[in-house]
């Protein structure tokens, strides 16, 4: 039997960024899923706060060199890679000078949300998809963690719904403690239209903020993992009304096998016909 393939996409992972709840979750569960016998790939953005020399990042030339068009503008895609110390896990970094050279994850120095956060997230998710295709690696499950990953379910289920590399992949969305909401740019809807999102998706995101995208990503997911006891209560309430699998998971208390079994259950569930 072939190993199941699990794609982790996150905005943070320990030790490359500060040891946040999210960074620690991805570090532990990616290792745990790997140790359970599954094949994994891990992706995150290459924010300016990441010390390339200390963590020994290097560019993967054969994967770099592509341009992604976001809002009718070309943006070079650069792929870098590094290993998590004392493990056999490699992390792929999505890099672009305009979007990720700054050290901040979502806010400017004045504390306000970066005006191009919508484009940064869109570029990151599409960059992951293009790189995974270049690797010739077809995931069985995709675990999305952090707001930077929220567009991934939308791309998989809408714009690229007929893409054979991803159309059988099951989507798992991770929820953490309350995440501050912020508005995207005034041209957010125009950017969605340019990228080919359907009218249904655009209507669902009409509020133009992060919460709208998070809620719709959860709506599209095959499974949702609540990663702490303090996970966002609004998202928990919403998930209870949706037809998807749920798992309450605490990396300090829950056996890793439960998460591995959760992935197996979702992957093995037959795809429902339209």
% residues pLDDT > 70 (the chain)? 91
> Which helix or strand (DSSP H or E) is residue 44 part of?
strand 39-45
Domain over 5-268 is classified CATH 3.40.50.720: no
Question: In this structure, how many other beta carbons lie within 10 angstroms of the beta carbon of residue 17?
Answer: 18
For the segment 184-197, the average pLDDT, to the nearest whole number, is 95
* Domain ranges (residues) in the chain: 5-268
Question: CA–CA separation, 155 vs 210, rounded Å?
Answer: 16
pTM of the model as a whole: 0.93
Residue 244 pLDDT class (50, 70, 90 cuts):
confident
Sequence-ordered alpha helix ranges (H) in the chain: 21-35, 52-55, 97-100, 117-135, 151-154, 188-194, 199-204, 210-220, 233-240, 256-268
Peptide bond into 15 cis (omega under 30): yes
């Amino acid at each position: 039997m072939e190993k199941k393939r699990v794609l982790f996409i996150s905005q943070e992972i320990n030790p490359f960024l500060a040891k946040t709840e999210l960074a620690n979750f991805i570090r532990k569960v990616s290792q745990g899923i790997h140790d359970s016998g599954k094949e994994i790939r891990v992706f995150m953005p290459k924010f300016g706060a990441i010390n390339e020399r200390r963590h020994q990042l290097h560019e993967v030339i054969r994967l770099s060199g592509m341009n992604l068009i976001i809002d009718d503008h070309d943006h070079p895609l650069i792929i870098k890679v590094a290993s998590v110390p004392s493990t056999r896990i490699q992390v792929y970094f999505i890099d672009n000078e305009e979007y990720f050279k700054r050290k901040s994850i979502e806010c400017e120095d004045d504390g306000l949300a970066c005006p191009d956060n919508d484009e940064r997230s869109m570029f990151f998710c599409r960059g992951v998809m293009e790189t995974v295709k270049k690797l010739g690696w077809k995931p069985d499950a995709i675990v999305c963690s952090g707001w930077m990953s929220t567009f991934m379910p939308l791309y998989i289920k809408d714009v690229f719904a007929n893409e054979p590399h991803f159309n059988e992949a099951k989507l798992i969305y991770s929820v953490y403690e309350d995440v501050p909401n912020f508005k995207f740019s005034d041209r957010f809807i125009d950017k969605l239209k340019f990228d080919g999102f359907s009218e249904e998706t655009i209507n669902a995101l009409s509020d133009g903020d992060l919460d709208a995208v998070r809620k719709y990503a959860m709506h599209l997911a095959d499974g949702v993992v609540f990663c702490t006891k303090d996970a966002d209560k609004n998202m928990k309430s919403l998930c209870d009304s949706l037809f998807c699998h749920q798992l309450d998971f605490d990396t300090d208390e829950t056996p890793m096998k439960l998460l591995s079994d959760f992935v197996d259950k979702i992957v093995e569930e037959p795809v429902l016909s339209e």
